[in-house]
Amino acid sequence: MTSKSMRHGIFLAPLHPVDENPNLLIHRDLELMEWADRLGFDEAWIGEHHSGGFETIASPELFIAAAAERTRTLRFGTGVISLPYHQPLMVANRIIQLDHQTRGRVMFGFGPGLLVSDAEQLGIDPNVQRDRMAEALDVILRLLDGQTVTEKTEWYNLVNARVHLMPYSQPRPEIAVASAATPSGGKMAGKYNLMMLCVAATSPTGGFNVLDVNWKFAEETAAEHGHVMDRAKLRLMGPMHIAETREKARENVRFGLEKYIEYARTVTPGRFGDFGKRDPVDVMLDSGHIVIGTPDDAIGVLTRLREKQGYFGGFLHQAHDWADWEATKKSYELYMRFVAPKFDNSNDRRNESYDEWKVRSVEFGNKSNAAAKATFEKYGKTIDADAAAKQTGMIGAKAEA
């Protein structure tokens, strides 16, 4: 598909209906991390939420600490820590500790906080969240770089503050800013030369349409600060469910799709528009950027994302409970078996080798037969070419068996 490969990951908010046992859900999320690790996914980003009922992880750092012990190569990102909710020194120290515990398998993702209900419980005016995020990030970056910070604002006070451990990753863990539809995330990524998490990349209500616009903001801001944005640091997120056939995928998502839609509309009234009497699956598919189908359908959506955005470094599955647990695991497996190789170049050399054999199969076959015949003749046995070919085929069959 391209000479540049793509990383593959999971974005675990999580999103769980409120009719299931919450303790089992947490442990199932940990099992999902183990499954992703076994399948060869590259990374998983874990969210922070404090209200709403569906998104049940309050501390991504705690979850990552447990998940890292159960996995071997999977990298973990906080997706995201809501900076206005936390004292900056505490965030810096927790990220550094995770960096050491995971020996460099952690990434620091941050944002202003998504749910207004979270901010309300903390007595924070949503209008100040992005400003507070910017203030906190500036301090955290200085702390991660080993600086001593004295700074007082209306919401935190630091007096000769410094971290007592430097990061395990040098010079520091990778850092990512969440970006949805507004240009604020892109501008911050450009200013500080950060990764970007486009968490609404397949949204039919605006996220997809502004992908290239927000990246342009990032590039322009980066140039103003002497940086060059690296597309390998760009992550696009979207929901998928994959099965062997479209019909099976549609059947699978009857399990939980409508609960997902109900929650999405609760958070963002009017989202997905008016269904009327239409099948919710058809409404979701109308955007052209959401997958409920086969591996080929997933390949088509990722191809359209590249056509819109240009090259991007990774795709993140929005974890959800559209299907039951076994069908959900199967969806991730089908993605890694048949979709990922189209974008990470892992089969390029295999295809080149196989294509050469197809073009030269008669030539190679004749050479093989001639070599077999010559071998028989060398040992004083006379055998015609057809018999040699047959004998060679039998030998090959036995070797394969």
Q: Who's near 117: CB < 8 A, 6+ residues apart?
A: 50, 51, 52
Answer yes or no: do 360 and 381 share one domain: yes
What is the number of structural domains in the chain? Answer: 2
What CATH number is attached to the domain comprising 52? 3.20.20.30
In a domain, 151, yes or no: yes
- CA 107, CA 308: separation in Å to the nearest integer? 26
Same-domain pairing of 301 and 358:
no
For 51, 235, 270, 380, the CA distances from 114, given in Å and listed in that order, are: 11, 18, 17, 82
Tell me, yes or no, whether 280 and 339 share the same domain. Answer: yes
**Integer angstrom CA distances of residue 316 from 99, 332, 340, 385:** 21, 11, 12, 56
| Residues 130 and 29 occupy one common structural domain | yes
53: left (phi over 0), alpha (psi -120 to 50) or beta: left
Residue 261 falls inside a structural domain: yes
Q: Are residues 145 and 265 in the same domain?
A: yes
| Domain-embedded: residue 282 | yes
| Same domain as 370, residue 334 | no
Q: pLDDT tens, position by position, for the chain (401 residues)?
A: 445 789 999 999 999 999 999 999 999 999 999 999 999 999 999 999 999 999 999 999 999 999 999 999 999 999 999 999 999 999 999 999 999 999 999 999 999 999 999 999 999 999 999 999 999 999 999 999 999 999 999 999 999 999 999 999 999 999 999 987 677 888 999 999 999 999 877 776 556 666 778 888 899 999 999 999 999 999 999 999 999 999 999 999 999 999 999 999 898 887 777 788 889 999 889 877 899 999 999 999 999 999 988 999 999 999 999 999 999 999 999 999 999 999 998 999 999 999 999 999 999 989 988 988 888 888 876 555 555 555 555 444 443 43
Structure tokens at 359: 């073009």
Q: Is residue 1 part of a domain?
A: no
Shared-domain flag, residues 99 and 186: yes
Is 31 a domain residue?
Answer: yes
> Residue 377 belongs to what domain range?
350-400
2 is a domain residue: no
Please, what is the end-to-end C-alpha distance for the chain in angstroms? 34
Structural tokens at position 263? 């929650």
Q: What letter represents residue 215's amino acid?
A: W
Q: CB-based contacts of 170: which residues, under 8 Å, 6+ apart?
A: none
Which residues 6+ apart lie within 8 Å of 176 measured at CB?
A: 77, 79, 80, 107, 108, 109, 110, 194, 195, 196, 197, 233, 235
CB-count burial class (<10 Å; 0-12, 13-18, 19+) for 34: middle
Q: Does residue 34 sit within a domain?
A: yes
* 295/370 same-domain check: no
Residues written for the chain: 401
> Which H, E and C letters describe 296-348, residue by residue?
HHHHHHHHHHHHHHCCCCEEEEECCCCCCHHHHHHHHHHHHHHHHHHHHCCCH
